[in-house]
């Protein structure tokens, strides 16, 4: 296709955080962006970046990185260092595109807003879950006012809590992930709240979040990533958003908005609308025009969302347009998550979401350092540990995660099987049982290794995570794997006979 922007000007970009950050490299070239520098604490990440961008400067030293001659920084560092790193980049004279979310405490938010204002630079949040098509329809008045919305970002992140597996590296270590292992999921609210804000043009003003502590097994005992975390957000027009984050027994990305004129459901991608300003109106399936830009965007991550993040940021730098997620919108979303945690810790009482556009309001939060207490991911085993044993933990718990999932797929599938009539679903259960027969001996060894490590450090957080996994997965059956293997084979024969 022809070039996207009507200019030959290029934006020189440095990527700080080469795990998530590297996901943007390919699409940058389509949007007048040249990746000229990279920085990461992990030498392996730097080496991989150098293979992709052989002409770019790469370093583990952030000061060397920021001293290079480029225009903008993509901040994709650890969640809780986004504020520090963004301000450092702004002070170095760079525009900033920051991964979600923008800051960890209200006081950091005040510091960041004022750093952006002083700098005169573009700041944008890399929120990538909106729907530009429905946003345009909403702006055209087809849906009326926001009345109520339900948006979910329910996403089981157990594996990511122990590794950087998402970026292709399977670690060997006695530690947990620096922030995915403990973060309260309310902090990570932008992928669910963000689309409602952007589509409807409203901002959050108050939030309440009930306490929640029903964790999935396999998370560290102090983790707040492993449970369902609903919040109820009052928006600036009086509409209500049920905002659901967390991890549970089924990932969910429900995306529904009730307007005062029409309803839209974005859950399946292309929107379904109900019209007629009544509860029984006709439902219509809409399709946006698949133009060349749309086709290009769909090649990139998060259903094209990553493309639009760079598109919006580049356009702001090149043409002076206002980013959809400027510093003030970023504050609205980030503060909603922070205040939801505060509400949850207070038993669910409603908490104001401050508007940091107002300097007088900022003053009230300048010294507000409320935050979830950090877990030290390097201290999940006690001092004096035998590292030749504990360094096996990361790989072991990741393998255990997949073993537990598969065993429960198969054994629970057998229980549900008598109630399944759909041929495809029946075949799925049979396939999982066949796979379990093949993998059972391997899984048995993984469970034995997990029990052995847990027994050596029984009071450690790591041991409790291992034990919670093992105890959740038919321990009585795994105690006699020969009998279990025979049971599986006999069930499969019976299933085949009944199908015929």
Architecture of domain 132-289+322-365: 2-Layer Sandwich (3.30)
- What pLDDT does residue 1 have? 59
Query: For residues 169 and 171, what is the distance between their CA atoms, to the nearest angstrom?
Result: 6
State which residues of the chain have pLDDT below 50. Answer: 165-166, 168
Reported pTM: 0.95
Structure token pair of residue 311: 């598109």
- What pLDDT does residue 168 have? 47
Query: For residues 186 and 224, what is the distance between their CA atoms, to the nearest angstrom?
Result: 9
Bridge-based pairing state of the strands 95-98 and 72-75 = parallel
Q: Which residue has the tokens 């089981």?
A: 156
- What pLDDT does residue 496 have? 72
Query: For residues 30 and 358, what is the distance between their CA atoms, to the nearest angstrom?
Result: 37
- What pLDDT does residue 304 have? 86
- What pLDDT does residue 63 have? 98
pLDDT digits (tens, 9 = 90+) for 251-264: 999 999 999 999 99
- What pLDDT does residue 157 have? 85
The number of C-alpha atoms within 13 Å of 118 and in the hemisphere containing its C-beta is 13
Structure token pair of residue 197: 């804000």
Does the 11-125 domain belong in CATH 3.40.50.720?
yes
Query: For residues 148 and 151, what is the distance between their CA atoms, to the nearest angstrom?
Result: 10
Q: Name residues whose C-beta falls within 8 Å of residue 308's C-beta, 6 or more positions apart in sequence.
A: 128, 130, 132, 297
> Are 175 and 378 within 8 A, CB to CB?
yes
- What pLDDT does residue 166 have? 45
- What pLDDT does residue 498 have? 66
Bridge-based pairing state of the strands 272-274 and 263-265 = antiparallel
Tell me whether residue 317 is exposed, middle or buried, using C-beta atoms within 10 angstroms of its C-beta: 0 to 12, 13 to 18, 19 or more.
buried
Query: For residues 189 and 112, what is the distance between their CA atoms, to the nearest angstrom?
Result: 19
Q: Name residues whose C-beta falls within 8 Å of residue 93's C-beta, 6 or more positions apart in sequence.
A: 119, 121
């Amino acid at each position: 296709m022809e070039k996207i922007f009507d200019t030959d000007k290029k934006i020189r970009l440095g990527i700080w955080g080469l795990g998530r950050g590297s996901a943007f490299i390919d699409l940058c070239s389509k949007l007048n962006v040249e990746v000229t520098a990279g920085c990461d604490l992990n030498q392996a990440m730097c080496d991989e970046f150098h293979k992709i961008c052989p002409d770019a400067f790469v370093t583990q030293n952030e000061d060397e990185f920021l001293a290079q001659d480029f225009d903008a920084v993509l901040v994709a560092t650890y969640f809780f260092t986004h504020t520090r790193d963004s301000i450092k980049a702004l002070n170095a004279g760079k525009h900033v595109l920051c991964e979600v979310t923008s800051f960890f405490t209200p006081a950091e938010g005040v510091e960041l807003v004022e750093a952006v204002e002083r700098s005169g630079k573009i700041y944008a949040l890399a929120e990538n879950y909106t729907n530009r098509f429905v946003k345009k329809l909403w702006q055209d008045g087809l849906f009326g006012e926001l009345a109520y919305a339900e948006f979910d970002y329910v996403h089981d992140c157990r594996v990511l809590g122990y590794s950087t597996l998402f970026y292709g590296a399977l670690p060997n270590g006695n530690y947990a992930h620096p922030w995915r292992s403990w973060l309260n999921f309310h902090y990570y609210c932008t992928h669910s709240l963000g689309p409602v804000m952007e589509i409807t043009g409203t901002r959050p003003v108050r939030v309440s979040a009930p306490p929640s502590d029903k964790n999935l097994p396999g998370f560290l005992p102090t983790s707040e990533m492993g449970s369902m975390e609903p919040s109820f957000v009052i928006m600036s027009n009086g509409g209500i958003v049920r905002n659901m984050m967390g991890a549970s027994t089924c990932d969910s990305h429900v995306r529904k908005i009730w307007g005062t004129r029409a309803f839209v459901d974005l859950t399946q991608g292309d929107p379904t609308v109900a019209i007629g300003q009544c509860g029984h109106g006709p439902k219509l399936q809409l399709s946006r025009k698949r133009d060349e830009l749309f086709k290009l965007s769909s090649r990139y991550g998060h259903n094209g969302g990553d493309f639009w993040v760079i598109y919006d940021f580049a356009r702001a730098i090149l043409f002076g347009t206002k980013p959809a997620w400027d510093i003030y919108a970023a504050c609205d979303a980030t503060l909603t998550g922070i205040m939801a945690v505060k509400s949850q810790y207070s038993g669910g009482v409603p908490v104001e979401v401050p508007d940091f556009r107002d300097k007088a309001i900022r003053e009230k939060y300048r010294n507000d350092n409320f935050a979830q207490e950090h877990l030290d991911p390097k201290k999940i085993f006690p001092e004096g540990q035998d590292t030749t044993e504990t360094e096996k933990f990361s790989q072991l718990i990741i393998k255990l995660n997949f073993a537990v999932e598969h065993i429960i797929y198969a054994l629970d599938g057998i229980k549900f099987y008598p109630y399944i009539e759909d041929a495809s679903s029946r075949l799925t259960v049979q396939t999982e049982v066949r796979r379990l027969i093949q993998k059972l001996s391997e899984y048995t060894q993984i469970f034995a290794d997990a029990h052995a490590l847990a027994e050596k450090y029984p009071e450690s957080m790591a041991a409790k995570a291992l034990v919670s996994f093992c105890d959740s997965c038919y321990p009585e059956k795994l105690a006699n794997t020969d009998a279990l293997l025979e049971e599986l084979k006999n069930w499969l024969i019976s299933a085949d006979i009944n199908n015929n």
